[in-house]
Amino acid sequence: MIKRETPFVELINTTEKLLAYLNVPYDMATETGKFKNDVVDKSWTGAHPHEFLNIRIMGKFKGSIFSVHPLMMKNFKAKGFASVAVIDLTDFLNRELKDKNKYKPISKFPVSTFDCTVLVGKEKPAATVLDCLKKVKLKELSEKKILDVFDLSDTQNAVTLSVKFEDPNKTLDHEFIKNAETMVIKTLEEAGFPLKS
């Protein structure tokens, strides 16, 4: 994907949809820890230092999503930004996948969506914002995702994220929603991601 604006977040969303459609258990992580990603190493000079995610499929690092480094684009005289998703499908390509689609009825009760924008240092990937939200222990928190990343200054980005709260058995009252939003904001601030004012 080559665009005038970085398509990194859009490519993450597209890749998540693809892996969900393939019905493959996966997760995305910024760091591999002591394990190496054999598909694309983060130390490759063509990879952007901050826009890089590893894809773990069935417990093994089998892919990466990254933006091409601006200097690499300049060396090849390419204008705009490019993001790449590389996924190794060989381990489960010939394996018959079971239909594990979990259908759930459309909720009779409304979903509450909470969007906010936080400040993130340029040295940190935007995905670390979602990682810190794993600490929020609410069964009503059904979805969290990054909507957009804005370049604010030389040192900071603004990351807009969306969080959904829902209960399939009842309507969430105003007080619960307000407390849940406060809990999300507090968790973000404790992790070093203050709200953009």
Instruction: Give me the residue spans of the domains in the chain.
Output: 2-93, 112-190
**Res 50: pLDDT:** 81
How is domain 112-190 classified at the CATH fold level? Alpha-Beta Plaits (3.30.70)
Domain pair 2-93 / 112-190, same fold: no
Non-local (6+) Cβ contacts of 163 within 8 A are 113, 114, 115, 116, 133, 141, 143, 144, 181, 184
- Residue 41 is which amino acid? D
Is residue 2 predicted with pLDDT exceeding 70?
Answer: no
- CATH of the domain spanning 2-93: 3.30.930.10
Under a CB-based contact definition with an 8 Å cutoff, are residues 52 and 37 in contact? Answer: no
The model's pLDDT over 5-26, given as tens digits with 9 standing for 90+, comes to 678 888 988 998 888 888 788 8
**Res 86: pLDDT:** 93
Under a CB-based contact definition with an 8 Å cutoff, are residues 97 and 24 in contact? Answer: yes
Provide the 3-class DSSP secondary structure of residue 80.
coil
**Res 178: pLDDT:** 96
Strands of the 156-165 sheet, one edge to the other? 112-121, 156-165, 141-151
Q: What is the mean pLDDT of the chain?
A: 86
